[in-house]
Amino acid sequence: DVKVTQSSRYLVKRTGEKVFLECVQDMDHENMFWYRQDPGLGLRLIYFSYDVKMKEKGDIPEGYSVSREKKERFSLILESASTNQTSMYLCASKKGGQAYGYTFGSGTRLTVV
Amino acid sequence: DQQVKQNSPSLSVQEGRISILNCDYTNSMFDYFLWYKKYPAEGPTFLISISSIKDKNEDGRFTVFLNKSAKHLSLHIVPSQPGDSAVYFCAASAQYGNKLVFGAGTILRVKS
């Protein structure tokens, strides 16, 4: 069964902390994505990556960075967590060159206090 | 500026009846549209899609209709079942691009 695995289901962090959210996929997909989901706003794209060591800003990249050193792993980094980054974070992957076939992880609920 | 809009935050339907979820978009470059379903504490899962060269796509109880001139699409579920209760997201992509743009979602409740 193909999977996108997010390392934590729930996280609570303090304001100003550096936070790492990890995502691993086992489908040999080229493309990986980080979204955040907020009520009334849907899923908004933070960053995505077409391939290893490649990254592109999404619609709301401010306050975030990413790392993709290996094809199967895509990390989202909150450089200095703030309360407005409290959200559900969803990782997804898909094969390159097509608009369908996204597989999502189960999400990480991050609370910044 | 939301390019994909789902104007109904929630919808309640009786079991066995039809559920109609609506979605509007503003970007005329979008040429591929998808619906995702999301249960609490799970990631979204793909439900059905439609290319801009079609106006209808059907898969079992689910049918998606696309009206390009109105920049509107809708998802019909018939008959609705209690297990269909979830959040439904409309999403769109331009030129088979690598990014999906999502709407805000509609919470569907199917009452038994």
DSSP structure string for chain A: ---EEES-SEEEE-TT--EEEEEEESS--SEEEEEEEETTTEEEEEEEESSTT--EE-S--TTEEEEEEETTEEEEEESS--GGG-EEEEEEEE-TT-S---EE---EEEEE-
Q: Residue B89 is nearest to which of A43, A92, A98, comparing CB atoms?
A: A43
Give the mean pLDDT of A99-106. Answer: 86
Q: How far apart are CA B68 and CA B78, in angstroms?
A: 23
Is it the case that residue A109 has pLDDT exceeding 70?
yes
Output the pLDDT for position A1.
65
- The CA-to-CA distance between both ends of chain A, in Å, stands at 36
Do A42 and B89 count as a contact with CB atoms less than 8 A apart? yes
Least confident of A72-86, A90-104, B73-87: A90-104
For residues B51 and B67, give the distance between their C-alpha atoms in angstroms, rounded to a whole number.
11
**pLDDT at residue number A100:** 75
Whether residue A2 has pLDDT greater than 80: no
Q: What is the mean pLDDT of residues B35-44?
A: 92
Contact present, A48 and B99 (Cβ < 8 Å)? yes
Let me know the angle formed at the C-alpha of A54 by A50 and A58, rounded to the nearest 5 degrees.
70
Q: What is the mean pLDDT of chain B?
A: 93
Band (pLDDT 50/70/90 cuts) for residue B103 is very high
Mean pLDDT of the B57-70 span: 97
Mutation target to probe the B interface, by most B beta carbons within 10 A, among A88, A102, A106 is A102
What does the alpha-carbon distance between residue B29 and residue B90 come to, in Å, rounded to a whole number?
16
d(CA A52, CA A72): 9
Q: What angle do CA A41, A45, A48 make, to 5 degrees?
A: 170
Q: What residue of A is the nearest CA neighbor of B98? A: A99
Whether the per-residue pLDDT at B97 is higher than 70: the answer is no
Residue B100 has pLDDT above 90, yes or no: no
Candidate from A42, A96, A105 with C-beta closest to B102? A42
> Please, is A60 exposed, middle or buried when counting C-beta atoms within 10 Å of its C-beta (0-12, 13-18, 19+)?
middle
CA A95 from chain centre, in angstroms, equals 16
Contact A99 B97 (CB under 8 A): yes
Residue of A nearest to B4 (CA): A42
pLDDT of res. A101: 79
Rounded-to-integer distance, Cα B94 and Cα B92, Å: 7
Q: Is the pLDDT of residue A98 over 90?
A: no
